């Protein structure tokens, strides 16, 4: 299968998670494209009154050619990454016939809400949404939990 992984990462945690997912999928024979969204402007967390999210996304990938789409980002202010949400809302319109899965990394809490926000947009675009993963990642991840999350993701993705 042709699989796209699109992420936003600030300190690299989501990138590490995405790389582990990619490595596993490639080992299973899939073609995997991993894109980190790059931004121009100010991306400041969605921390209520101080939120400053005046940015554009420089490299929004087109998803048309992929069978499965994985979208990942950090939890910010108990919500999904504003960069990921902007990408999903503005750049992702038609996912009919594709499966999609969200994954997030977080210090402690807010993963469920972030996944619901991302899944809502994926559903609105017509994707069949698979069960997402929220991974605690404080300085380092728990390696066993990371591996288990990667297994669950790949298990769902690899069902033809």
Which spans of this chain sit near ligand FMN (rule: CB under 6 A)?
Answer: 9-14, 45, 74-78, 105-110, 137
The C-alpha angle 36, 94, 122, rounded to 5 degrees, equals 60
Closest CB 104 distance from ligand FMN, rounded Å = 7
Q: Which is nearer to ligand FMN, 14 or 102 (CB)?
A: 14
89 CB contacts (<8 Å, ≥6 apart)? 121
Distance of CA 74 to the CA centre of its chain: 8
CB 86 within 8 A of CB 57: yes
Closest CB 79 distance from ligand FMN, rounded Å = 7
Which residue number has the CB closest to ligand FMN? 45
Q: Which is nearer to ligand FMN, 50 or 160 (CB)?
A: 50
* Alpha-carbon span 104 to 133, nearest angstrom: 6
Closest CB 13 distance from ligand FMN, rounded Å = 3
Q: Which is nearer to ligand FMN, 12 or 155 (CB)?
A: 12
Q: Which is nearer to ligand FMN, 55 or 78 (CB)?
A: 78
Closest CB 118 distance from ligand FMN, rounded Å = 14
User: In sequence order, what are the beta bridge partners of 31?
Assistant: 2
Q: Which is nearer to ligand FMN, 107 or 155 (CB)?
A: 107
Distance of CA 13 to the CA centre of its chain: 12
Closest CB 48 distance from ligand FMN, rounded Å = 11
* Alpha-carbon span 54 to 147, nearest angstrom: 36
CB 135 within 8 A of CB 149: yes
């Amino acid at each position: 299968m042709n699989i796209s992984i699109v992420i936003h990462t600030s300190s690299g945690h989501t990138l590490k998670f995405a790389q582990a997912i990619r490595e596993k999928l490639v080992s299973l024979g899939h073609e995997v494209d991993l894109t980190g969204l790059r931004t121009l402007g100010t991306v400041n967390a969605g921390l209520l009154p101080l939120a400053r999210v005046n940015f554009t996304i420089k490299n929004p990938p087109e998803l048309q050619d992929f069978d499965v789409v994985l979208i990942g980002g950090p939890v910010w202010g108990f919500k999904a990454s504003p960069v990921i949400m902007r990408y999903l809302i503005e750049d992702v319109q038609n996912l009919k016939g594709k499966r999609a899965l969200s994954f997030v990394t977080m210090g402690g809490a807010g993963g469920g809400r972030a996944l619901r926000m991302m899944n809502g947009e994926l559903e609105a675009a017509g994707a069949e949404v698979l069960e997402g993963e929220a991974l605690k990642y404080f300085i380092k991840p728990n390696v066993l939990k990371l591996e288990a999350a990667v297994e669950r993701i790949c298990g769902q993705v690899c069902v033809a």
